A and B are shown apart, each in its own frame.
Chain A
Amino acid sequence: MRKDTERPFKRVLIANRGEIAIRIIRACRELGIETVAVYSDADADALHRRAADTSVHIGPAPATESYLLVDRVVEAARSSGAQAIHPGYGFLSEQPELAEACVAAGIVFIGPAPETLAQLGDKLAARRRASAAGVPVVQGTFEPIDLATDDGTAQVRAEAKRIGWPLLVKAAAGGGGRGMRRVDGLDQLDEAVTSASREAAASFGDGSVYLERFVERARHVEVQLLGDDHGNVVALGERDCSVQRRHQKLVEEAPAPGLTTEQRRHLHGLAVNVASTVGLRNAATAEFLLSPDGEFWFLEVNARLQVEHGVTELVADVDLVHEQLWIAAGHPISARALAAAGRAAAPERHAIEIRLSAEHPGLHFAPAPGRVTRWRPPTGPGVRVDAGVEEGSEVSEHYDPLIAKLLVVAEDRPEALARLARALDELEVGGIQTTLPFDRWLLHQPDFADATGLSTDLVDRLWQPLELVSVAALRAAELAAVAATSSSTEAAPPPADGDGRADDSWWRAGIQEATERLE
């Protein structure tokens, strides 16, 4: 047991923004750790800045001039007296440069060692590692593509033909679908490589890309890992993240539906195997494809906290960010987490997360930045909302469109689905278009509801928004007609009564009395 007075760090800087910065700040506060936020010009009024105890300005709005600058982040930690840096996900979380700079500055990096990041964070190196460790990897290239030379171009074409179509161009430094392109034929190859490389360079500061076979009708299944400095590497269970669009996850759940205990044990073993070969410390996720024939194929390891870590937390009953902080301070994985790992192959709860993003699901999920004018998140039993916005927040075009994650947990999958439906009914967002219509629709699709058609192409196969928009638009027009002809919408809504606030004279009198006493 840990002593009550003990805490892993006195002060931690969170090198991130939005919902994940707030998620980490919450964990720090629960452990008695002071928090330092960093923010760009665009985030001067952002929620994460105000959630932290102190904040440091690190530059202009573009991430390449602020959140992606290692020197600024480390300097912010030094000037604010932070002992450790939590990188969150995205931005610098998987760049060995930040971890190295932390080591050099005597600051703890809350994540793996720089060498581990170099081996795992580089998707290509991870592929080589996993393959060498006997873990099945998806067919593809093992070295970065070089289109700068004629030789390189010819080589890529030869490799692509060997792998066959369709294939994926992926960013070596990637994650979250950035810098990823599907290619269906030779004529699309050069273009895909070039644009993926540019997107990768913009997102990660590294334009290296590689090729991988596209496994048709595959599910995306990933394993949550924890490792410490005391030789422990454990799997806390798996997640199914098959509901994706443009290789961006939209919905995640834990456990992955339909797996047997034996399959789970096998999968978790593969993940621990990959992690052990690089001496993983802290939190990471091993991603696999599950092909229709029931085989697992290693994709990559994300050596950081994942967006969707919450579903594992809800099922395993472990706070992963707490674990990260203790592990980074040199403690072993908690007894609680070890026990959860022991139970991971036979989970007794089910959790589902939807990613609420400022995107238009009727317009190919195009970004829909703007101001959030209404924000009413759901509450009640089994519901968790990790949000990065509040009413009045500006969702900036400069950053990821994810504004909140809505998670539910219940005894089993059908109950979790019912709870999610209830929570989605309660959720109200105004001012910006979000992905909410997609989530409401998804719940009623047999492929998802019965988990019979889970595969990474589910969205492309089934999502037909036009009819949904038309039906909703007609209803919206009716509501507008009602509003236009009723007088109640002219005035501000009347104050809610029944909660004692309508008549506040008694407490005003009380305050006056108390003030007089003080004087």
Chain B
Amino acid sequence: MTGPRRTRVTIEAVPLVIQPDEAEIASFEPARRGEHVSPLPMTAGDRADGIRRFEVVVDGWLFEAATEPAVRAELRERVARSAAVHHATARLTLRAQIPGRVVRLWVGVGEKVERGQRLLAIEAMKMENEIRAPQPGVVEDIRVEIGARVEREDELLSIG
């Protein structure tokens, strides 16, 4: 069955997904003062998938939004779901959100941690930024040591 054409918008950082149809999009108010939308560069993969990316600022909050035709997104998801079903795991790998230097490590491999427990601290811009456990579990793997430089998205440790 073919319904109205929908666009899927994903904001991963929040995370948020909406799928408005053409009529709904036409009813959205255009950008007001203090809001702006700028297209971001697309990768070759984005182009192939029909994905477009935007930086959107609302009330000073900065978001990266990805848009794509909803039918394509759903198709891609079905393929991904069937591939991922055998690899389901609760293991969570924490990555650095800021570049900096590891100045503290409060936990060791095999240690049980509670949600919100301090794991390590990264110094950036002369401030210590504590990384806390987003979920309870056991520290399975630590990929950094004190003094190590980390870049954004570098893997720090895993909780299983």
Contact = CB atoms under 8 A, between A and B. Distances in A.
A477 B97 contact: no
Interface stretch (A1-9, A296-304, A320-328, A365-373): A365-373
A203 B59 contact: no
Contacts of A476: 11, 56-58, 61, 63, 65
A104 interface: no
B56 A480 contact: yes
B99 A477 contact: no
Contacts of B29: 478
A474 interface: yes
B60 A436 contact: yes
B38 to A, nearest CB: 6
Interface in B1-48: 7, 9, 11, 14, 16, 18, 20, 22, 25, 28-31, 33-39
Given A195-B128, A436-B60, A480 B67 contact: yes
A195 B58 CA distance: 36
A479 B97 CA distance: 26
Chief secondary structure at chain A's binding surface: helix
Contact of B59 (A367, A440, A489): A440
A425 B18 contact: no
A437 B97 contact: no
B84 to A, nearest CB: 25
A474 B16 CA distance: 8
Nearest to A475: B58
A202 B98 contact: no
B18 A437 contact: no
Contacts of A199: 123, 126-128
Contacts of A468: 59, 61
Given A199-B128, A468-B61, A477-B9, A489 B98 contact: no
B71 to A, nearest CB: 14
Given A473-B14, A483-B37, A397 B55 contact: no
Interface residues of A, number: 58
A178 interface: yes
A428 interface: yes
Interface residues of B, number: 46
A434 B126 contact: no
Most-contacted residue by chain A among B30, B34, B127 (CB, 10 A): B127
B98 A374 contact: no
A264 B54 CA distance: 51
A472 B18 contact: no
A366 B60 contact: no
B52 interface: yes
A431 B55 contact: yes
Interface string A170-208: 000000001000000000000000010011001100000
Contacts of A427: 34
Nearest to A398: B125
B61 A479 contact: no
B39 to A, nearest CB: 6
B62 interface: yes
A367 B127 contact: yes
B126 A203 contact: yes
Interface string A415-431: 00000000011111111
Given A472-B61, A474-B18, A484-B52, A397 B67 contact: no
A481 B18 contact: yes
Most-contacted residue by chain A among B22, B34, B58, B124 (CB, 10 A): B58
B101 to A, nearest CB: 9
B125 A401 contact: yes
Given A199-B128, A203-B126, A482-B30, A477 B61 contact: no
Nearest to A465: B61
Contacts of B125: 367, 369, 397-401
Given A366-B129, A425-B34, A483-B39, 10 more contacts: A199-B127, A367-B124, A373-B38, A374-B36, A397-B125, A430-B36, A434-B60, A437-B59, A475-B59, A477-B65
11 contacts: A199-B128, A366-B98, A369-B98, A430-B38, A472-B59, A479-B65, A480-B9, A480-B11, A481-B9, A483-B39, A489-B37
